[in-house]
Amino acid sequence: MGLNILILGVNGFIGSSLTERILHTQPNWSVYGMDMSQHKLQNCLGHDRFHFIEGDITINKEWIAYHVKKCDIVLPLVAIATPATYISDPIRVFELDFEANLEIIRHCVKHKKRVLFPSTSEVYGMSHDPEFNEETSPLILGPINKERWIYSCSKQLMDRVIYAYGKHQGLQFTLFRPFNWIGPKLDSVMDQKEGSARVLSQFISNILHGKDIQLVNGGEQRRSFTYIDDGIDALMKIIENKNDCASSRIFNIGNPKNDVSIKELAELLVKVIKTYPSHSALAAKTKIVTVDSKDYYGTGYQDTLHRVPSVQNAKQYLDWTPRVDLETGLRKTLDYHLRPQTEDIELA
């Protein structure tokens, strides 16, 4: 089946990984992609089924309107997704993650296009359920002065708007909720500013730059880390939508078996980097210290202490289960970041 797929934010972690997979495995699918930069797309640019334009979703609105009309499926992946920015620039998070994306959703409604929207594990907030379920778990956020929740709240409102458009105006949609996806190209590990990256990239960056790893509030809080290839497997099944299995549904895409505390993540990362001869000395001298969240993020921060997905829906409807364990995911990510040195070692 031929498909034209529009990906906004195609140079992001998910967009670039998904595009690469599509181009390599689906000879009848084409990708039309927009982004402000292209550095994660080296393996895609120039491909005859990849049509890239450099642009900004808040500016190049005509291109977007035209391509929503022209394509079969739309993935609006542009969003700010680093917690430090939720607190330092909450208005920009709302404007981009909600307002700019709402316009795209409305184009999909108007032109009757299928939209696959990235919701987030963050919508569950501080939900008490031991496993978060798409249909039954309450979504629990903190008070307004805890500005961190503006991202969760913006995404939740968008989930509700999309769901309502689906129910009342026939929008074809699937909402997917990534749970702490990790892998090559997640964030730059060269940026040294604390809070500029998600936790794994931040910790790798700290080690590479000889800085301490900082555990916010002691690092007892837990996350279920999901390797990007597993996530992309799920997205491919959602796009394929065999027998409408993904239509009008919400899917947690996460790995409940990779549920660890942030402290355990730090310790495992140090242990794994020690096995790379080129970087073992750096890892050995890395100190793991504790920092108060007020000092790291500011007073607008509040955290969720556990975040485990139920993946029953994904299993039942998509026939998907995550396969990559955390240590393997870390090694694959490190092979990418430490590659030049790794190659040296292999040759030696």
Contact residues for ligand UGA, defined by CB under 6 A = 81, 83, 120-122, 151, 178-180, 198-199, 202, 214-216, 219, 221, 223, 262, 303
| Region label for 222, one of left (φ > 0), alpha (ψ between -120 and 50) or beta (otherwise) | beta
Backbone angles phi, psi at 342, to 5 degrees: -60, -40
Least spacing, CB of residue 73 vs ligand UGA, in Å? 22
Nearer to ligand UGA, 30 or 202 (CB): 202
3-state secondary structure of 71: coil
Least spacing, CB of residue 112 vs ligand UGA, in Å? 29
Nearer to ligand UGA, 158 or 199 (CB): 199
Nearer to ligand UGA, 29 or 151 (CB): 151
What's the CA gap between 109 and 78, in Å, rounded?
19
Nearer to ligand UGA, 144 or 305 (CB): 305
Nearer to ligand UGA, 172 or 255 (CB): 255
Least spacing, CB of residue 62 vs ligand UGA, in Å? 30
Q: How many CB atoms lie within 10 A of CB 63?
A: 15
Least spacing, CB of residue 74 vs ligand UGA, in Å? 20
Q: How many CB atoms lie within 10 A of CB 28?
A: 8
Nearer to ligand UGA, 81 or 239 (CB): 81
Least spacing, CB of residue 16 vs ligand UGA, in Å? 16
Strands 3-8 and 29-35 turn out to be parallel
Tell me which long-range contacts 122-129 makes (C-beta under 8 A, separation of at least 24).
Answer: 122/151, 122/152, 122/155, 122/304, 123/152, 123/155, 123/156, 123/159, 123/177, 124/304, 124/307, 125/149, 125/152, 125/304, 126/302, 126/304, 126/305, 127/304
Least spacing, CB of residue 215 vs ligand UGA, in Å? 5
